Amino acid sequence: MERTFVMIKPDGIQRGLIGKILSRFEEKGFKIVAAKFGILSEAIVDKHYEEHIVKPFYFGMKAYITSGPVFRFVLEGDNVIATVRKMNGATNPGEAMPGTIRGDYALSIGKNVIHASDAPESAAREIGIHFADVELVSYEKIDEMQLYE
């Protein structure tokens, strides 16, 4: 099974979207194996977005992502990384298809409700930044036999 990191950003929290977003992933059949709610420290933000630190938009993005609480979680399932990215929709909400999370809820590219890892390497890196190994729970859901071949 593959794992991915997902984060509902401050605008998603302020708009009360945690339940709606989580239910989409659970209804798809993905399993939540870790979760945290809170305000990100500057150190975590710098580590998470380290490739963007030198870019001109970084300080505005950092101010936004630390402006309020976020909900971070790890999902597990077959092809979860690519599927979650598709479910999220295009980064620019204006290009996101209706039915995707950003297509349905996001209003601007700078505040686009949700983040998800884009590849196995970034998923492993981001999970490691936000969660200790002991915080990841392994368990079997009763419907897994029906969901996976």
30 touches 5 (CB < 8 A) = no
Q: Both tokens of residue 41?
A: 């420290």
49 touches 137 (CB < 8 A) = no
Give this prediction's pTM.
0.94
Catalytic annotation present for 52: no
| CATH architecture under which domain 2-147 falls | 2-Layer Sandwich (3.30)
- Is the Cα dihedral 9, 85, 110, 105 positive or negative? negative
pLDDT 10s digit of each residue in the chain, 149 long?
Answer: 999 999 999 999 999 999 999 999 999 999 999 999 999 999 999 999 999 999 999 999 999 999 999 999 999 999 999 999 999 999 999 999 999 999 999 999 889 999 999 999 999 999 999 999 999 999 998 888 777 77
